[in-house]
Amino acid sequence: MYSLDAAGGWAVTWAAVKQPCSVHGLCGKNAVCEYQPSLRCSCVPGYEMVDRRDWRKGCNPTFSLPAANCSASSEKRFTFVKVASTDFYGYDVGYNSSVTFEYCKSLCLSMCSCAAFAYKKDGTGQCYPKGVLFNGYTSPTAPGNIYLKVPSDLNAEAPPPSMALDCTLNGSDAAIDPPTYVDTYGALRSGPNLSYLFWFAAVLGFLELLFAATAWWFMSGQESMPSSLEAGYRLVMGTQFRRFTYRELKKVTGDFNEVLGRGGSGVVYRGVLDKTTVVAVKELTNVLQGEEEFWAEMTVFGRINHINLVRIWGFCSEGKHKLLVYEYVENGSLDRHLFGEDNSKALAWRERFKIALGAAKGLAYLHHECLEWVIHCDVKPENILLTRDLDPKIADFGLSKLSRRKAVGDGVQLSQMRGTTGYMAPEWVLGLPIDAKVDVYSYGIVLLEILMGSRITEQRTVDGKERLQMSQIVQALEQVVASGDVVSLVDSRLNGQFNPRQAMEMLKISLSCIMEERSSRPAMDDIFKALIACDDEDEHPAYLL
């Protein structure tokens, strides 16, 4: 909002966003936003402005990084420039906790896609390699420093170019200065045009009275939660992300009375919005982030929308209370249908293939299509929910960023990891950096269980005395592929009613997913393409052997 000052010039007296640096992409790529005291954008060392008239175009590097052989003599060819009290939110190409600074540095050196890394020296040893330098900001309260990857021979000591972001109207400068918005109201005094001041004061006074009356009415009606909250619930019906109060969710769930399920990340309760809409309310445990970081993660979750992902409708963050509100998925989790004892309710082959295809599609979206790269870290049948039509929806994605982890030497304590025994990739145990291939491994196990109708961890020797090790299972599966006889492997409850070509393709994909060397595992989008290639849904055949 602008108003005339005493000299007849325009001044900013109010703004909807009081911290413009939090606006996505305000300063463009490879640039940081800061207040000095007015809003200012500047290129990071080693970069230069693309267009001085438009900061949204960001900065370009004055050097080039090779696209291959990044690990060869990287320490000699590259160095890191420290930019203190600075961070770039999002676009991480990995995440590691409880690691040393030198380990984080060497990790970035070995990654072709790593342009910089953020490291928090607060005792947690959190390392964030960055693939893209976007949403940069500098602040004395920033949790750590950013270290830019540049060639060793680059002179990055010169001060980076910068420019204040000012608004100019009719030739008069009106600098946007977020820390002094309140003070600017006091700058309004008599000037050459008093009518503007009069009308501005009148409108402002009316808005203040309206706000006070609305606040009083809202607070007075909190006990009964009448129609004032129903409007908020209708926003959820319009798929708009919103924040709930703990008091609201306590009433919605009937004081957290009906438990739908329990897991490593928290307890899920049944709730009802607007007297008709059933929701699932998850009370999170072991949340590491503070209020501001938790809000930032929620803004990312709120933008994720895919037919094969459980939709998050909102959240609550009040002190120790951290809760998520999900859409309710009618048919429960896959494990109840896949491992149930009632043979008459066993999933048909067409339904199994549809579930495998949909789960792959959802994970491919998280890995390759999201604005920010998301790793699930706990893919298992319990986290694949089924709709009324048995379409799959993946739940609990993104919660790995909110989980508390504890250090054990150079690794991570397994009881605090995002993972379940039997579905965890070898990287977890070996303490290696975690990437999307851990989800690929877990998906491979789930795919095998869909095929076989039983848990991999329950496979036993012929005499039934000992459980098979993973290496023994892989060896047996390879023999099935070599012989081409997949009949003995498919769930016997199907009574031979399945598609042999699809079953063999699922088996081959599973074997490629559970390779011990993660570089040998396929990407989720390749898995989805392989499955869709053998989907003969258009023909609708009778799946008979």
CA distances to 131, 138, 391 from 35, rounded to whole Å, are 25, 8, 49
Mean pLDDT of the chain: 78
Strand pairing report for 259-263 and 392-394: unpaired
| Cα–Cα distance, 165 to 143 (Å, whole number) | 25
Strand pairing report for 242-243 and 384-386: unpaired
Query: Domain containing 452: what range?
Result: 335-533
Together in a domain, 355 and 498: yes
| Cα–Cα distance, 277 to 252 (Å, whole number) | 10
Binding-site positions: 282
Beta bridge partners of 403: 287
37 in a structural domain: yes
Beta bridge partners of 270: 280
Burial of 217 (0-12, 13-18, 19+ CB in 10 A): exposed
- pLDDT tens across 356-408, in order? 999 999 999 999 887 677 888 889 999 999 999 999 999 988 666 544 433 33
Work out the pLDDT band at 97, boundaries 50, 70, 90.
confident
CATH number at residue 255: 3.30.200.20
Strand pairing report for 277-284 and 321-327: antiparallel
Q: Could you tell me which residue, 209 or 149, shows the higher pLDDT?
A: 149
Q: What is the DSSP letter of 519?
A: G
pLDDT score, position 443 = 97
Q: Determine contact, residues 272/289, Cβ cutoff 8 Å.
A: no
Together in a domain, 374 and 475: yes
pLDDT score, position 361 = 96
Together in a domain, 250 and 320: yes
Nearest to 435 by CA among 111, 145, 120, 121: 111
* Among the ranges given (131-135, 277-281, 418-422, 505-509), the one the predictor scored with the smallest mean pLDDT: 418-422
Give the residue numbers annotated as catalytic, written as ranges: 378
Q: Could you tell me which residue, 401 or 108, shows the higher pLDDT?
A: 108
Together in a domain, 370 and 507: yes
Look at the block and give the residue holding tokens 């979750």. Answer: 301
Work out the pLDDT band at 262, boundaries 50, 70, 90.
confident
Q: Determine contact, residues 278/328, Cβ cutoff 8 Å.
A: yes
494 in a structural domain: yes
The answer to whether the peptide bond before residue 522 is cis (omega within 30 degrees of 0) is no
> What are the CB-based long-range contacts (under 8 Å, 24+) for 235-242?
236/273, 236/277, 236/279, 236/313, 236/314, 236/325, 237/274, 237/277, 239/305, 239/311, 239/313, 241/298, 241/301, 241/302, 241/303, 241/312, 241/313, 241/314, 242/313, 242/314
Q: Determine contact, residues 450/350, Cβ cutoff 8 Å.
A: no
Q: Determine contact, residues 347/336, Cβ cutoff 8 Å.
A: no
CATH number at residue 489: 1.10.510.10
Together in a domain, 234 and 366: no
Together in a domain, 380 and 525: yes
Among 141, 164, 187, the domain-final residue is: 164
Asked whether residue 540 carries a pLDDT value surpassing 50, the answer given is no
Together in a domain, 120 and 235: no
What is the arithmetic mean of pLDDT over 223-252? Answer: 60
Percentage helix, strand, coil for the chain under 3-state DSSP, each rounded to 5: 35, 20, 45
What is the arithmetic mean of pLDDT over 58-83? Answer: 74
* DSSP three-state, residue 325: strand
Binding-site positions for ATP: 282
